[in-house]
Amino acid sequence: MQIGICPTRSARPTGTAPGGTAYCPDSVNSCRNGPTTIATRTLPENMNP
Amino acid sequence: MTRQALFAPFLAVLLMLAALAAQAQDGPLRLTITDPNVEPLPFAVPTFEAETPGAEQLAADITEVIAADLTGTGVFRRIPAEAFVSSIESFAQPVAYTDWRTINAQALITGAVAVNGNQVTVKFRLYDVFSGQELGSGQQLSGTTDGWRRMAHKVADQVYSRITGEGGYFDSRVVFVAETGPKADRRKRLAIMDYDGANVQYLTDSSSIVLAPRFSPNGDRVIYTSWDSGFPRIYALDVGTVTRQALPVIDGEMAFSPRFSRDGRSVIYSISNGGNTDIYRTDVPTGQHQRLTSAPSIETAPSLSPDGSQIVFESDRSGSQQIYVMPASGGEPRRISFGEGRYGSPVWSPRGDLIAFTKQNAGRFHIGVMRTDGSEERLLTSSFLDESPTWSPNGRVLMFTRETQGETGAPSIYSVDVSGRNLQRVQTPAGASDPSWGPLQP
């Protein structure tokens, strides 16, 4: 996941809020995270009686 | 007649009843969420095991989000940990079903969390306690630590889906209008959040009014109306890069009420020109326009059916605001709302079976649903001001705006399930209105 993509070129994140939100110093005071990739796989069967 | 022959019919009936009882006890775990009288299903979710040092807090947080997702539906009931007579020491250990049956846990969710650097791995299994078997296969999800809430939502989606047979809706986002300030000077910004109100982020500043944001079908873009240029124009905003572009809609005094087509290629919207409002479609890549209605009345709030063949919209052509359906290419509209009062903001369910709407009658506002032919109208809510319904990705829950009365009245976003149960306020940092529920995330 990328953090801190701000909507203006000069903006740099000034901090990170819970959940990964990056706060930016311009008028849009927070900006979107980039895409998250979540990989999923199936587990082998559990050893139950 | 022998004694055995005399009792044979009774024996057969007894065996049949025993078989039915065994089937009821051993049948797969299943919950029908459309039943308005459904009894919440009790489930146990012991805190997930921390498989690496320092993962304890994240494991606990993930467990709580999963539990909150499921209990938030109103159809699951969490059994408190204090009631447990058994503990899960290790994700790999066999499940002592008897201990979980003792506390009437119908479903048991076990899991483990491992953290390595900024990578997190979440494993889970779902057990049908009374049939004594795993329900579906265990799964492992891997990603970066800042995506942990999404992983928890994905686990909850799997549990919900395996037990109800319906698609989930927890790993989804909602775009809405964040509102601050007094009514006379209300500041409106475009914002986006997780379905449960977490991770609010602002997509525009408050320098110009924004209205009616709508997600694209795959959730990559938001289309909305803005007064940025001094008059209402429709913009599409890429939620990943927060860049926007004005859509090449047909010229008019005002362009508003936009929605994407199901393939995300075209946009249907309203244009107001010379005091008349009609519905148009624009193919975004080519910029070609098509006029879909042509009447002296107000036609607006178009919403496409899931198969793209029909459009539901509101019109006052009969003298009062009502809901109509017409072919997606235009054509003769058919009125489908006939109850008392005024109907507006219709939205076609992603399942295709229902149309949600706002109804105003006798000084009250309602969110309701009806069949696509207008039959079986049901009002789900009632308040001073309820409006702007939007469907969850699985078509089982609606979010909408509720505004309180008076000078200090403020808008909030609420959710209610399609049977009218489980009315809840979605927690947002400030005022919030006009939600649009996006799709499940990949």
- Write the pLDDT tens digit of every residue in B354-413: 999 999 999 999 999 999 999 999 999 999 999 999 999 999 999 999 999 887 888 999
Mean pLDDT of chain B: 89
Q: Predicted ipTM?
A: 0.71
Is B42 in the same domain as B190?
Answer: no
Mean pLDDT of the B108-113 span: 97
Q: Does position B23 have pLDDT exceeding 80, yes or no?
A: no
Q: Do A19 and B139 touch (CB under 8 A)?
A: no
Tens-digit pLDDT profile for residues B225-239: 988 877 788 999 988
Q: Are residues B323 and B421 in the same domain?
A: yes
Report, as an integer, the average pLDDT of B50-62: 97
The pTM of this model reads 0.86
Nearest to A28 among B92, B151, B202 (CB): B202
Asked if the model's pLDDT at residue B76 lies above 70, the reply is yes
Domain final position from B164, B184, B210: B164
Residue B293 lies in a domain: yes
Same domain, B201 and B287: yes
Domain harbouring B25, CATH code: 3.40.50.10070
The verdict on residue B109 lying in a domain is yes
Do B232 and B224 form a contact (C-beta atoms < 8 A)? no
CB-based contact B365:B386 (threshold 8 Å) = yes
pLDDT at B140 over 90: yes
Q: Does a structural domain hold residue B3?
A: no
Q: Which residue of A has its CA nearest to B200?
A: A21
**Given B137, B164, B191, which residue is the final one in a domain?**
B164
Structural domain boundaries enclosing B426: 172-440
Count the domains in chain B: 2
Question: Would you state the pLDDT for residue B12?
Answer: 46
> Is B217 inside a domain boundary?
yes
CA atoms of B253 and B152, how far apart (whole Å): 46
Chain B contacts of A3, Cβ < 8 Å?
Answer: 146
Percent above pLDDT 70 for chain B? 93
Q: What is the pLDDT of residue A36?
A: 63
**Angle of helix B148-164 relative to helix B56-72, nearest 10 degrees?**
40
Contact between chains at A39 and B207 (C-beta distance less than 8 A): no
Task: Write out pLDDT tens, residues B150-208.
Answer: 999 999 999 999 999 999 999 999 999 999 888 778 888 999 999 999 998 888 887 78
List chain B residues with CB under 8 Å of A39: 141-143
B385 vs B209: which has the higher pLDDT: B385
Query: Do residue A40 and residue B140 have CB atoms under 8 angstroms apart?
Result: yes
Is B341 touching A (CB cutoff 8 A)?
no
Together in a domain, B252 and B109: no
Mean pLDDT of B139-160: 94
Chain B: residue nearest A29 by CA? B202
- A46 contacts B94? CB cut-off 8 A: yes
Amino acid at B109: I
Does residue B2 lie in a domain region? no
Residue B320 CB partners (closer than 8 Å, separation 6+): B342
Asked if A42 is an interface residue toward chain B (Cβ–Cβ < 8 A), one would say yes
The b/e string for B416-436 (b: 16+ C-beta within 10 A; e otherwise) is: bbbbbeeebebebeebbbbbb
CB contact under 8 A, B134 and A49: no
How far is Cα of residue A6 from the mean position of the Cα atoms in its chain? 12
Q: Are residues B129 and B87 in the same domain?
A: yes
DSSP run (H or E) holding B246:
strand B243-246
**Inter-chain contact A38–B151, Cβ cutoff 8 Å?**
yes
- CA distances B333 to B283, B312, B329, B348, B352, Å, are 22, 9, 11, 16, 18
At B263, which CATH number?
2.120.10.30
DSSP state of B383: B
Residues B304, B268: contact at Cβ < 8 Å? yes
Residues B142 and B256 in one domain: no
- Closest Cα partner for B56 from B112, B121, B4? B112
What pLDDT sits at residue B13? Answer: 43
| Yes or no, beta carbons of A48 and B94 under 8 Å apart | yes
Q: Confidence class of residue B241 from pLDDT cuts 50, 70 and 90?
A: confident
Q: How confident is the model at residue B21 (pLDDT cuts 50, 70, 90)?
A: very low
Domain boundary residue, one of B129, B164, B199: B164
- Give percent of chain B with pLDDT exceeding 90: 72
Conformational region of residue B268, where left means phi above 0, alpha means psi within -120 to 50, and beta covers everything else? beta
Alpha-carbon distance of B400 to B366, in angstroms, equals 10
The verdict on residue B265 lying in a domain is yes
Same domain, B336 and B237: yes
The span from the CA of B115 to the CA of B123, in Å, is 12
DSSP per position, B4-22: HHHHHHHHHHHHHHHHHHH
Structure tokens at B182: 């007094």
Pick from A36-40, B49-53, B134-138, B282-286 the range whose average pLDDT is largest. B49-53
Q: Is residue B222 a contact partner of residue B436, using CB atoms and an 8 Å limit?
A: yes
Question: Is B368 found in the same domain as B243?
Answer: yes
Contact (CB, 8 A) for B169 and B392: yes
Q: Choose among A20, A28, A43: nearest Cβ to B205.
A: A28
Residues B152 and B195 in one domain: no
Residue of higher predicted confidence among B377 and B250: B377
Q: Domain ranges in chain A? A: 1-37
pLDDT band at A47 (very low <50, low <70, confident <90, very high): low
